[in-house]
Amino acid sequence: MYHLLIIVTILSFSSILIAFAVDEAFPSVPTTFSVAKNHSDDLKPIRREVYGVERKVFDISHRYTPELPAWESSEGLGKFMRLAVSMKNGSVANISKMKLSVHSGTHVDAPGHFHEHYYDSGFDSDSLDLQILNGPALLVDVPRDKNISAEVMKSLHIPKGIRRVLFKTLNTDRRLMFKKEFDSSFVGFLVDGAKWLVENTDIKLVGLDYLSFAAYDEAPATHRFILERRDIIPVEALKLDDVEVGMYSLHCLPLRLVGAEGAPTRCILIK
Ligand SMILES: *[C@@H]1O[C@H](CO)[C@@H](O)[C@H](O)[C@H]1NC(C)=O
Ligand SMILES: *[C@@H]1O[C@H](CO)[C@@H](O)[C@H](O)[C@H]1NC(C)=O
Ligand SMILES: *[C@@H]1O[C@H](CO)[C@@H](O)[C@H](O)[C@H]1NC(C)=O
Ligand SMILES: *[C@@H]1O[C@H](CO)[C@@H](O)[C@H](O)[C@H]1NC(C)=O
């Protein structure tokens, strides 16, 4: 299903990216909001979830690490990146290369993901509308004991006119994205929930907190239904741990991967 690979070369002279390439570069994720300095004194890069004080910027993308869960895998992403050219070996710079499914970590799906004719026609990640991917968004909590059915959608009372909604579910409470082993019991949309959304709301961006916006058992049918329309963008594997329910300004900028039916994306919320 996820057959496209991307290979990206990271060339950087900055100490931050260089440190990213070494082994102990993935410290445990801080859970408190800290007001970060704009530099570090001890050559240790600052890693943060929230930037700023009055105008907060929440990073709702997951870090790419070998332990990040991957679809139907018990091994996680594994070693997806390596230092291909290194200073230690006499090169003028350190250059890392990576190889991973475009549906890894925080990512978007394009219409070609489940529709062959759209794939062939070029409805790839480069064709996704940045106006949908950027703008006011509502973060909602969904009931923890159910997948997202029509009944659940109805109970959320999402007002007309809201175009972007991020759904915080039991997946966040269970910290599923922090567990290496893929867990098919994650919460997501059911087909009738997706139908209800299309028929009764103005939502064009659907964000969820695990690798698929649709529940495992109904993932193919729900993806097919939503992606067929070509006007709704699923954003998957968002990191909603530290963010409270409410209205934000959402900004998602997927990589422009021509020919790819999805793409990794950085997503942030600004309050
Ligand atoms: C960076 O920090 C220094 C002091 O640590 C401060 O004077 C400066 O204004 C800061 N710059 C920005 C862009 O925040
Ligand atoms: C470059 O990569 C090497 C590993 O080959 C690492 O030890 C070193 O710290 C990196 N940075 C620099 C500036 O050499
Ligand atoms: C450096 O070179 C050695 C010997 O050719 C090789 O075994 C090693 O993998 C290289 N390391 C990197 C980071 O390129
Ligand atoms: C959601 O659906 C999955 C199967 O797709 C199931 O394993 C899981 O238990 C359901 N979650 C809830 C909260 O009902």
- Closest ligand to C-alpha of residue 23 is 2
Burial zone of 150 (CB within 10 Å; 0-12 exposed, 13-18 middle, 19+ buried): middle
- pLDDT of amino acid 28: 53
- pLDDT of amino acid 45: 81
d(CA 140, CA 176): 18
Q: Which residue's CA is the closest to the ligand 1 atom numbered 12?
A: 38
Q: Which residue's CA is the closest to the ligand 4 atom numbered 8?
A: 185
d(CA 71, CA 188): 14
- pLDDT of amino acid 132: 98
Q: List the domain boundaries for the chain.
A: 2-47, 107-270
Place of tokens 């021509």: 258
Q: Which CATH superfamily is domain 107-270 in?
A: Putative cyclase (3.50.30.50)
How remote is the CA of residue 35 from the centroid of ligand 4, in Å?
Answer: 37
- One digit per residue, the tens of pLDDT, for the chain of length 271 reads 444 444 444 443 443 443 444 344 444 555 555 555 666 677 888 889 999 888 999 999 999 999 999 999 999 999 999 999 999 999 999 999 999 999 999 999 999 999 899 998 999 999 999 999 999 999 999 999 999 999 999 999 999 999 999 999 999 999 999 999 999 999 999 999 999 999 999 999 999 999 999 999 999 999 999 999 999 999 999 999 989 999 999 999 999 999 999 999 999 999 9
Report the atom number in ligand 3 closest to the C-alpha of 85.
14
Q: Which residue's CA is the closest to the ligand 3 atom numbered 5?
A: 89
- pLDDT of amino acid 249: 98
Ligand 3 mutation target, pool 23, 85, 86, 87, most atoms within 8 A of CB: 86
What's the pTM value of the predicted model, to 2 decimals?
A: 0.82
H-state helical runs in the chain? 15-20, 116-121, 130-133, 150-156, 170-173, 191-200, 219-229
